[in-house]
Structure 1
Amino acid sequence: MSLPLRPAPARREQPPVDHGPPLRSKVSGVLAAIACAACCALPPLVAAGVLTAAGAAILRQTLLAVSAGLAATGLGLWWRHRRRGARRPAAAASHGCADDCRC
């Protein structure tokens, strides 16, 4: 019985493509949801006498703007992550290393 002197080379597998949202996008989405929930909690705070109506109106407008900004940031980060992931295989194919590679 003869044994090979060197082990067979390990196959290199490409890492799987990550289609999920990046962590920064998830954090931004969670913060937007918290700001939205805080905005919905304002009417009970006014009824309980913790906030005045004027303070609640200013806080409501601020929370809505923060929530919209965070949601837009999260979507932009997710879109950028998807574009970068789609660009990698296209960049490899543009250098002549497609399916019929003869380099």
Structure 2
Amino acid sequence: MNLPTPAPTSPPATPTHDVAPAADNTPPTRSKITGGLAALACAACCAIPLLITAGVLTGAGAALLEQTLLAIAAGLAVTALGLWWLHRRRSVHRASTARGSTTGCGSGSCGC
């Protein structure tokens, strides 16, 4: 005796409101802007020999400007990386808290 096979059932769809947000790995806009300013300071530092050749800067002025631009570029690069790290840390904490985690960052017991 042949019985009809039951129709395949699809798994129930998971509601989208229960899905916890994932951690955001992209750099925030403020970090991108700060990194762009650091690149601009590096480009200005590379333009110093052209300014000397054009007679706009003297040797002493170029040395002072070079050291200043290098310090500014390094400071802006460190700031951009720090802002990205802070954004990532907050994003992971938010995602962990939204999932209701009792361990890790959600519980406040970790050192991250």
Per the shorter chain, which TM-score range?
A: 0.7 to 0.9
Which of structures 1 and 2 has the bigger CA Rg?
A: 2
Residue 101 of structure 2, aligned match among 93, 100, 103: 93
Pair 1:93–1:87, CA change in 2 (3 A): same
What's the % identity of the aligned pairs? 58
Shift of 1:71: 0.1
Pair 1:40–1:19, CA change in 2 (3 A): same
User: Which stretch shifts more, 79-88 or 63-72?
Assistant: 79-88
Pair 1:63–1:46, CA change in 2 (3 A): same
Note the residue ranges of structure 1 that are not aligned, 5 or more in a row: 1-9, 96-103
Note the residue ranges of structure 2 that are not aligned, 5 or more in a row: 1-14, 104-112
Q: TM-score, normalised by structure 1?
A: 0.75
The CA distance in 1 between the partners of 2:53 and 2:76, in whole Å, is: 28
Residue 35 of structure 1, aligned match among 18, 41, 51: 41
Q: RMSD of aligned C-alpha atoms? A: 1.8
The CA distance in 2 between the partners of 1:82 and 1:74, in whole Å, is: 12
Residue 62 of structure 1, aligned match among 53, 58, 68: 68
Q: How many pairs were matched up?
A: 86
